[in-house]
A and B are shown apart, each in its own frame.
Chain A
Amino acid sequence: MDQTPINLLEIKDLKKTFSISGGLFRQLTLTALENINFNIRQGETLGIVGESGCGKSTLGRCILQLLTPDEGQVLWLGQDLTRLPAEEMRKRRADLQIIFQDPLASLNPRMTVGEIIADPLRTLRPEMNKEERRARVLKIMEAVGLLPEMINRYPHEFSGGQAQRIGIARALITEPKLIVCDEPVSALDVSIQAQILNLLAELKDEFGLTLIFISHNLSVVRHVSDRILVLYLGRIVELATGDEIYDDPRHPYTRALLTAVPIPDPKLARQRNIDALKGEIPSPINPPSGCTFRTRCRFAKPFCAETRPPLEMIEDGRLVACHRWREIEVPEEAVLGA
């Protein structure tokens, strides 16, 4: 395989809108994603965080072409996936897979575990015969920690954690290069969550995967990611390495998100003064003018309402979209109080 650190995926000016009906004869446009530009390097884990409705799941699905973006390009090793004919894209799918949030809902209840895991092979590796498929399924099942004798069981006989392992096995079976993990542990119990996170880390090393890890849980994202992308109302507000984001957040939203994360440490949790955001996320149908975050931002100035802040490169590879990032001081004590 090519050893140069290359951009596996480049997202350029991605835009996605949904039209929803706002009563009789009225069509409203919801801009789910706009001006999305970033790269994913081979072998890294990119975390995508944001609150509900920020477009993080939509972004994952646009990358996989499960949703068709309105504008922009999704370049996979230089090849634009949005322009690819359906048949070509189908073959490409072996390289890009997905793991879902609700492990049970993502498994067809009428199929056995073996059939579910082998399903992508039927279309993507039609040349394989039944025995080869079965051998491959057993191998993957072992890799994700499922016992071989589970192969003929049905999804409803499994707990959430095991079901998620089945989902992971299905994603791995085509030997993908990139896996989009859409909230893969949010529906799981704490102890199982940790097992799955460790499993993903192991599999990443073993199979040389690149991961896009979508989650609303900042602690989890921090734990798994090399770089983190923060979304707010369908726009990138900050992109930086995990350490940069957590030690030195530049965007006021990132900072507010971080201070809101509960810390499993009573003394720290009590000391910390939470920079609680006022109010709630504005409606994406009618977002605020200028900077979309200004309505909740404590650093907002009148000019924030006029123009939309561009996504600026502030250091090497570090991006932030805020008019005032230069003026806002980094607090002396670290944001987390640690």
Chain B
Amino acid sequence: MAGITGKDAVLTEYAQRLETLDAPKGRSLTQDAVRRLARNKAAVVSIFVVVFIILFAFVGPYFLPWTYDKIDWTGIRKPPNFEAGHFVGTDQNGRDMLARIMQGTQMSLIVAGVATLVSVCIGIIYGAVAGYFGGKVDAVMMRFVDIMYALPYILFVIILVVMFGRNPVLLFVGIGCLEWLTMARIVRGQTLSIKEREFVEAAKAGGAKPWTIITRHIVPNLTGPVVIYSTLTIPEIILTESFLSYLGLGVQEPQTSLGTLISFGSPVAETLPWMLIGPAVVLVSLLLALTYIGDGLRDALDPKDR
């Protein structure tokens, strides 16, 4: 049937017509998942909350009279004062709290985003390769992960900070480089089960090379667990960053983050409650919203598991 017969020409023409007329598009699994997610009220509300927090953090500062590092000598440790433009008060150094919350949220979101991205990228590739090739490759790769797990990550962060100085970007990458361990384990587990599925065997029978099988057949089918896990990683990273900042290893003054703000606010919660309430509200609502989105995604991506 090779070669161009008359039938071929007719079909080619038909194919071109389909190209322009468009054969009806199917519903992909992703579209299905989005539809199911849209039906989940808690998740939809949470998405709006997260979007609002993102806008608040990145666009908000342009509408404020104060920047996060400007000191108002007339207003130190003052409660909210609308006339002076300190809508949620000032801190011990006379800096506007609202501006600082915005900047802190910004910083926390960037940390979370970059670190999650790094951990997802490394984790998927590492886990998929270990899982797909199996055997000795898998054993060596996963033992390395086990060793990394066993080492205290604080040590790594300190080494990184000592070597490269206190650069926030480096910190994000550092956290990401540690967070990928769990991701790699999850991805490897999934890969082990996916590679036994018949469509992978079909791809092998179709002559596909290992790399093609990993990228075309395995990785796209990892979407579910990876997306779910990363929504759960984001809050974890925000908390890790807070902890590091508290130890003085994280973000440096005058820059700040949600964790740093809270750690400064908590000792003075009784006398200067606005220093704690503001950042705490943002952090709690961010974490809650992310958790709801994660839950919603899990239900949407794996409708059978409910």
Contacts and interface: CB of A to CB of B under 8 A. Distances in A.
A154 B207 contact: no
B205 A98 contact: yes
B162 to A, nearest CB: 43
A119 B208 contact: yes
A149 B207 contact: no
Interface stretch (A74-82, A107-115, A192-200): A107-115
Contacts of A106: 197-199, 201-202
A152 B26 contact: yes
A310 B131 CA distance: 42
B28 A170 contact: no
Nearest to B32: A156
Interface stretch (B15-23, B98-106, B110-118, B253-261): B15-23
A154 B29 contact: yes
A142 B27 CA distance: 22
A153 B1 CA distance: 26
B242 to A, nearest CB: 37
Interface stretch (A26-34, A44-52, A87-95): A87-95
Interface centre among A94, A105, A167, A207 (most CB of B within 10 A): A105
B134 to A, nearest CB: 14
Given A135-B12, A152-B25, A154-B26, A108 B206 contact: no
A56 to B, nearest CB: 16
B23 to A, nearest CB: 5
A138 B209 contact: no
B17 to A, nearest CB: 10
Interface residues of A, number: 47
Interface centre among B12, B25, B26 (most CB of A within 10 A): B26
Interface in B183-224: 197-199, 201-209, 212, 216-217, 220-221, 223
A273 interface: no
A80 to B, nearest CB: 18
A137 to B, nearest CB: 8
Contacts of A142: 11
B8 interface: yes
A328 B247 CA distance: 87
A167 B203 CA distance: 11
A91 B207 CA distance: 7
Question: Chain B: interface residue count, which band?
Answer: 35 or more
Nearest to A142: B11
Contacts of A170: 202, 206
A174 interface: yes
Interface centre among B7, B18, B23, B197 (most CB of A within 10 A): B23
A148 interface: yes
B24 interface: yes
B14 interface: yes
A123 B198 contact: no
A176 to B, nearest CB: 10
A157 B1 contact: no
B221 A108 contact: yes
A28 B220 CA distance: 36
Q: Which are the 3 A-B pairs with shortest beta-carbon distances?
A: A120-B206, A153-B26, A106-B198
Interface of B: 1-2, 7-8, 11-12, 14-16, 18-19, 22-29, 32, 197-199, 201-209, 212, 216-217, 220-221, 223
27 contacts: A61-B201, A64-B205, A90-B207, A90-B209, A93-B206, A98-B201, A106-B199, A106-B201, A108-B220, A108-B221, A109-B199, A111-B216, A113-B26, A119-B206, A123-B207, A124-B207, A131-B16, A134-B19, A135-B11, A139-B8, A142-B11, A152-B25, A153-B25, A153-B26, A154-B29, A156-B29, A174-B206
Given A113-B26, A170-B202, 9 more contacts: A100-B202, A108-B199, A109-B29, A111-B216, A124-B207, A131-B16, A138-B15, A154-B28, A175-B1
